[in-house]
Amino acid sequence: MAYSALITAGTAVASTAVAQHGPSEQSIAPLDLYNQASRAGLPFLHSVASGDPLPDSIILWTRVTPDRDSLPGSGLGPDVTVRWDIATDTAFTDIIGTGTAIATAEHDHTVHIDVKGLRPETIYYYRFIVLDGDHRGATSPIGRTKTAPAYDSSPEEITFATASCANWECGYFSAYRDMAQRGYNGELDLVVFLGDYIYEYATGEYAGKSGISRVHHPQWEITTLEDYRIRYGTYRTDPFLQAAHASTPWVVTWDDHETANNSWSAGAENHTDDPAEGKWTTRRDNAQQAYFEWLPVRVTMDSPERHIYRSFQYGDLMELTMMDLRSYRDAETDAANFANPERTMLGSEQFNWLKNVLETSTAAWNVLGNSVMLSPMKILTVEGDPAANAALNFVDQRTTGMAVNSDQWDGYAADRDRLLELLSHTSANTFVVTGDIHSEWANSVIWNDKEIGAEMVCTSISAPNVDEILTSYLGSYHPENNSTSLLVEDVLTGANPWVKHLDFDAHGYCIAHLSREQVVMDYVRVADVETNNAATNIAVTKTWRPGEGFVD
């Protein structure tokens, strides 16, 4: 069922204007909010979330579990009516909006509220209360959210986190704990998630350095709507992920693993049209419906097919465009066809939309939410070192002296050229935020030998990177920053002078501090993803300035 049916059915989606009141004194400390959000129980087992902030609107989300049989994907359980409240204080003495919605089994008991009539650049608190059934009177954890600045405002700085690639079985989500704490402390305006929110694999098929840290559900490769719902439900029981969602509004896009590995418009590397996996279009639709149900997304409905690409204006400082690099792309091909001008990553409709947004924007920065790396990668193989070459294969480099990662923009060179030319003709600065590749990168964005922007690539929350691949490949433990990882980093930075920072072994996320003069990029790292509640720290900071490039 298309997501439009979710809206027209009226079962779990509402759009409501609210009254305006003045702010009140906050009465619950950030630590208490964090603890409440990360310890959700029945009937709000999956806590709360918000997303897609506009100056006057925000999406609020929750899932209701009416009873212990009504688990994600079960299709069981009665309809439940919930009331939502949004206020300027955590005690809810200044409630500025309220309404009701019905959570139904048809849509996995998820609830989306599009609250309108809010004030720009304002912190709000929200909650849900069950109005009927066995849990009548039960109240959800309190969520904290923030609207975008007014379109005609001039913010001095915007600070946002970027994250990608969270694999349940590979480790714990300590990075989300750090993100949540910064959110509750007021350090983040939003979180930009760049894809691979879940992984589709069967248990043990893509595990961590020491094997499976924790078993996901279902334990088989997911293909049906029920499967995808169960997998999302598993992830959303993680206390750190719950707290990260409850602390800060998220803006999300998908990559491939929300459906299947290395997907394109008509299929995926990890899909076969056979009785076991079914038709690709059916699997894709199942995955997308579960995605829209389980994430706080405002879907644009003006396309014949529902789409997730959209933009967010933060005053005259930032135009954030979230691209969909999976739904319209051509299939991967060999290196001889990379430059074929007919090949596309974006598709014509999305490119025309992006062109219009970028050409009409008045913001100082064009920030592109980009799921796979834009900058090219070129390498020389390491003669006589099979371990190093195995690590290089991890980033899909398989020939000498060529850019050959066909799943990234390298495989769609003509479309990349069109995008870079478009960006070079705008008056705004370019900042590309990227995920996918399970490693930290800071790249200069080059077009016709001119540096037109910067690319910040966040590493994985927990999905495997080079030290884990080496441990698996060689059968012996490889710590972070082992000699082979360092050699591979040297090979790649030497062959790619636009790469200003690279770490192949780190896990964590990034924080961008965007001002008119510069963008400061913090790379937050987790000490050990196989240890629950591991320590985190800002390990590297890079600064890029228009006209100067990277200055540290």
Q: At what angle do helices 30-37 and 174-184 cross, to 10 degrees?
A: 140
Per-residue pLDDT of 297-351, as tens digits, reads: 996 544 555 689 999 999 999 999 999 999 999 998 776 677 788 899 999 999 9
529 in the same domain as 393: yes
Residue 428 has pLDDT above 50, yes or no: yes
Reported in sequence order, the residue ranges of 123-182 that DSSP labels E, i.e. its strands, are 123-130, 143-146, 157-163
3-state secondary structure of 125: strand
pLDDT at 336: 63
CATH code for the domain in which residue 344 is found = 3.60.21.70
428 in the same domain as 535: yes
128 in the same domain as 248: no
Phi/psi at 122 (5° precision): -130, 140
3-state secondary structure of 159: strand
Q: Rounded to an integer, what distance in angstroms lies between the CA atom of residue 10 and that of residue 93?
A: 29
Per-residue pLDDT of 467-508, as tens digits, reads: 998 998 888 999 999 999 999 899 899 999 999 999 999 999
Per-residue pLDDT of 386-413, as tens digits, reads: 777 777 776 654 333 444 578 899 999 9
Q: Rounded to an integer, what distance in angstroms lies between the CA atom of residue 297 and that of residue 198?
A: 16
pLDDT at 334: 72
Phi/psi at 286 (5° precision): -60, -45
pLDDT at 462: 98
Q: What residue spans of 365-512 are helical by DSSP H?
A: 386-394, 413-424, 466-474, 483-495
223 in the same domain as 74: no
489 in the same domain as 400: yes
Q: Up-side HSE of residue 58: CA atoms within 13 Å toward CB? A: 33
Q: How many helices and strands (H and E) does the chain possess?
A: 11, 24
55: which residues sit within 8 A by CB, 6+ positions away? 118, 120, 121, 147, 148, 149, 150, 151
Average pLDDT of span 353-368: 98
Average pLDDT of span 43-60: 98
Average pLDDT of span 22-27: 46
Amino acid at 163: A
36: which residues sit within 8 A by CB, 6+ positions away? 28, 141, 142
Average pLDDT of span 21-41: 64
Burial label for 402, CB within 10 Å (0-12, 13-18, 19+), is middle
pLDDT at 457: 99
Is 167 inside a domain boundary?
yes
Per-residue pLDDT of 175-217, as tens digits, reads: 999 999 999 999 999 999 999 999 999 999 999 999 999 999 9
Is 151 inside a domain boundary?
no
What is the number of domains present in the chain? 2
pLDDT at 304: 54
pLDDT band at 27 (very low <50, low <70, confident <90, very high): low
Considering the chain, what is the average pLDDT of its residues? 91
Q: Which of 94, 112, 146 is the last residue of a domain?
A: 146
Is 152 inside a domain boundary?
no
Q: Which of 90, 113, 146 is the last residue of a domain?
A: 146
Q: What is the Rg, in whole angstroms, of the alpha carbon atoms belonging to the chain?
A: 22
Average pLDDT of span 258-286: 93
pLDDT at 509: 99
Give the CA angle between residues 331, 442, 505 to the nearest 5°.
80
Q: Rounded to an integer, what distance in angstroms lies between the CA atom of residue 184 and that of residue 52?
A: 18
Interior/surface letters 14-47, b for 16+ CB within 10 angstroms, e for the rest = bebebeeeeebeeeeebeebbebbbebeebbbbb
pLDDT at 386: 76
186 in the same domain as 317: yes
122 in the same domain as 168: no
Is 338 inside a domain boundary?
yes
pLDDT at 358: 97
Is 388 inside a domain boundary?
yes
Of the two residues 464 and 337, the one the predictor is more confident about is: 464
Q: Rounded to an integer, what distance in angstroms lies between the CA atom of residue 235 and that of residue 211?
A: 18
pLDDT at 9: 30
Residue 246 has pLDDT above 50, yes or no: yes
176 in the same domain as 119: no
3-state secondary structure of 450: strand
Interior/surface letters 131-146, b for 16+ CB within 10 angstroms, e for the rest = eebebeebbbbbbbbb
Per-residue pLDDT of 97-144, as tens digits, reads: 999 999 999 999 999 999 999 999 999 999 999 999 999 999 999 999
Length of the chain measured in residues:
552
128 in the same domain as 237: no
pLDDT at 378: 82
Is 503 inside a domain boundary?
yes
227 in the same domain as 361: yes
Domain coverage including residue 436: 157-550
pLDDT at 387: 75
302 in the same domain as 224: yes
pLDDT at 3: 29
Is 258 inside a domain boundary?
yes
Q: Which of 146, 174, 191 is the last residue of a domain?
A: 146
Q: Rounded to an integer, what distance in angstroms lies between the CA atom of residue 422 and that of residue 445?
A: 13
Q: Rounded to an integer, what distance in angstroms lies between the CA atom of residue 245 and that of residue 250?
A: 7
375 in the same domain as 265: yes
pLDDT at 525: 99
* Upstream peptide bond of 43 is cis (omega within 30 degrees of 0): yes
CATH code for the domain in which residue 127 is found = 2.60.40.380
pLDDT at 400: 37
